[in-house]
Chains A and B, each alone.
Chain A
């Protein structure tokens, strides 16, 4: 028995050491290609942020805003599944926010989905969909490499970190990359017809699978207000409604026909609200839900110019 335990422990220790070394090397090369979230948990605490779901993650470009407002913005938006307004996203924002911020600018993208819940009781915050995501148990949202994230939340084989790494993978296989400013850069070749062809199926997914079980949530609105209240202590807060394909807009109108009046308390608590949905037809979407890169730049420019205008008054 003693012989077994000694030899087995020896073997295990050597194996663990080799594994740690190897994993450490892999973690050190993790970057914006690793997955759609990782890089956002490696940047330092932020003073000005873009918040929202995947529409904002892809659609609002910090570099465009920086050119107009002369401030470093960080896109801390994720997806509809994990960054709808609620306790989980609120906590994560609070962790990412630099507590010394005095004059930050915070852009919060709002749409009916980010204020809706699919739980039987729409105010059952303990069972919101994002509570099933381990992502927001993350204590550490600003270290590089983020060992906590990679060790416990990265949901793939470790070897893929190396295969996805930028040097090996610079846009050859993977069109998606989180940039250093948190923006999710989806670099597709402009093909309006192919993009347009995807829209009906995606719309049907929302219409048939999400809409029937989604309800407006007072609790989510309350958390939006709480988020605004938190951010207001550190600067200005602007609300925007990012454009979406007209077919998607129809579904959103079914979910929340009176969004403006519903979010009125949030508008009043903020420094302004820009509704870009009247311009829906002007833009190109890769799947109906997300803006094409160039359209995203244009939307970001419109938001930047609008904020500049508001601030100058």
Chain B
């Protein structure tokens, strides 16, 4: 079920009313309702893959129970590996089988050995990369004794399948989300209003910004050979806002929906395009994944405790693995590696934590230095997105070659440019609002809090009207494929 669909618009109020009016007396009933609603939500896409979620839930719950009763180090390690192998095995099979097979065949043919391909027509289960990482966080934290294993199977099943964030995150930590299922939730007016506002802003990002940008990004990327360097720059910019609007929009809707049910999810995006360097960008982009890799990969690898060589090695590993997590294609791996290269000068000069606070805090505008830093970081990010969006490495390469050719001086033109200009205006408006609200957890969190109600409602009306009038052609959320 898509957040921006009529189905969800019907589903959400029904579940909401049942949750607060029918199931509100009993915590267990509330959790059962969440599990059922989550399975309906997921099964709406393809009910067959519910078995994967159930399987993953059963395995990790059992592993948790095993870890509770055992102090034997060997046994505990074995149980942890069972969880890792099962979860990553499922992910590897569904997501990476054909990629590895193709690359093995190519590698063998390079040495003159021809192998008959036996590729499988595998459907990638929506959200598998998200929920496998979420359940892994549980077993790893229980193994490390940072979390008490749960005895409550329903609460655990609700944690694994919690519908707002099941298919595209934020990837919650068991330490944050699971305990929330143990406590009775009480309706909180301010939390619910805040949730609705965040849903509204998420929808704006998705249907107004991302879907409209997608139309022109697709046109330009799919026909890149026909366009000048200047148009290709526009194409990359459209994609830059498409992916941000799409993914952070999803996160906003997920977080807002969770708040309606009394849950607090972690912030997943913190205005990343206002970052002053790449390190700051990665502290603000897809925070739940970056911190997951930091806690469960970078630190176990030694983190920054060793010498500089180890720091560099570990940095490259997490960026490349993060790229590979996004998709079984070399383009994602290069995208990850490129970001590691961007990161390197900051790491070597020990300046990777120099920009922690939001830019221009308590000021209206940034100073010149901040502005230039933001512009450079943004430009580097845009260039990296070309690899992320391109169909293949050769496509990305030819795209970048054209950008850095004399044709960048030509006046940009693409099919549908007239409406493209409308989209540019919408993006400018979006940037202004995000800049204005950058001190909050999402763009409009704090905007209008001091206004009188009619004015505040008018502001929300305007956003709602934009969603209705400017909704682009419906596109699936990009991160569903990851």
Contact = CB atoms under 8 A, between A and B. Distances in A.
A23 interface: yes
Contacts of A157: 212, 419, 469-473
B187 A159 contact: no
Contacts of B187: 1, 4
Interface stretch (B112-120, B295-303, B381-389, B460-468): B460-468
B356 interface: no
Nearest to B457: A11
A303 B252 CA distance: 60
Given A1-B187, A4-B192, A4-B193, A18 B461 contact: yes
Interface string A1-32: 10110001001001100110011001000000
Contacts of B369: none
B23 to A, nearest CB: 13
A19 B473 contact: no
Contacts of B472: 157
A1 B465 CA distance: 26
A159 B465 contact: no
A3 B189 contact: yes
A195 interface: no
Contact of A156 (B189, B461, B464, B473): B473
A15 B192 contact: no
Contacts, number: 49
Interface string B444-469: 00000000000001001100110011
A160 interface: yes
Given A11-B457, A157-B470, A163-B419, A19 B464 contact: yes
Interface in B406-432: 418-419, 422
Contacts of A155: 473
Nearest to B196: A8
Interface residues of A, number: 20
Contacts of A11: 457, 460
A283 interface: no
A306 interface: no
B460 A159 contact: no
B293 interface: no
A84 B425 CA distance: 40
Contact of B468 (A4, A23, A163): A23
B469 A15 contact: no
Interface in B114-141: none
A159 B470 contact: yes
A158 interface: yes
B20 interface: yes
Contacts of A8: 196
B196 A159 contact: no
A15 B422 contact: no
Contact of B461 (A1, A4, A15, A160): A15
Contacts of A1: 20, 187, 189
A158 B207 CA distance: 12
Contacts of A156: 473
A51 B288 CA distance: 57
A160 B419 contact: yes
A166 to B, nearest CB: 15
Q: Which one of B192, B212, B460 has the highest number of Cβ atoms from chain A below 10 Å of its Cβ? A: B192
Contact of A18 (B192, B419, B465): B465
Nearest to B468: A19
Contacts of B419: 157, 160, 163
A22 B462 CA distance: 12
A168 to B, nearest CB: 11
B225 to A, nearest CB: 13
Nearest to A173: B418
Interface in A166-208: 173
A158 B469 contact: yes
A160 B473 CA distance: 12
A17 to B, nearest CB: 10
Residue from B457, B468, B470 having most chain A Cβ neighbours under 10 A: B468
Interface string B1-29: 00000000000000000001000000000
A155 B215 CA distance: 12
A9 to B, nearest CB: 11
A203 to B, nearest CB: 18
Interface in B330-357: none
A22 B457 contact: no
Contacts of A173: 418
A155 B187 CA distance: 39
Nearest to A159: B469
Interface of A: 1, 3-4, 8, 11, 14-15, 18-19, 22-23, 26, 155-160, 163, 173
9 contacts: A1-B20, A11-B460, A18-B465, A22-B469, A23-B469, A155-B473, A157-B472, A158-B468, A163-B422
Question: Which 4 pairs, one residue from A and one from B, show the smallest C-beta to C-beta distance?
Answer: A159-B469, A1-B187, A158-B469, A15-B464
Given A19-B465, A157-B469, A160-B419, 19 more contacts: A1-B20, A4-B187, A4-B189, A14-B457, A15-B460, A15-B461, A15-B465, A18-B465, A22-B468, A23-B468, A26-B469, A156-B473, A157-B471, A157-B472, A157-B473, A158-B470, A159-B422, A159-B469, A163-B418
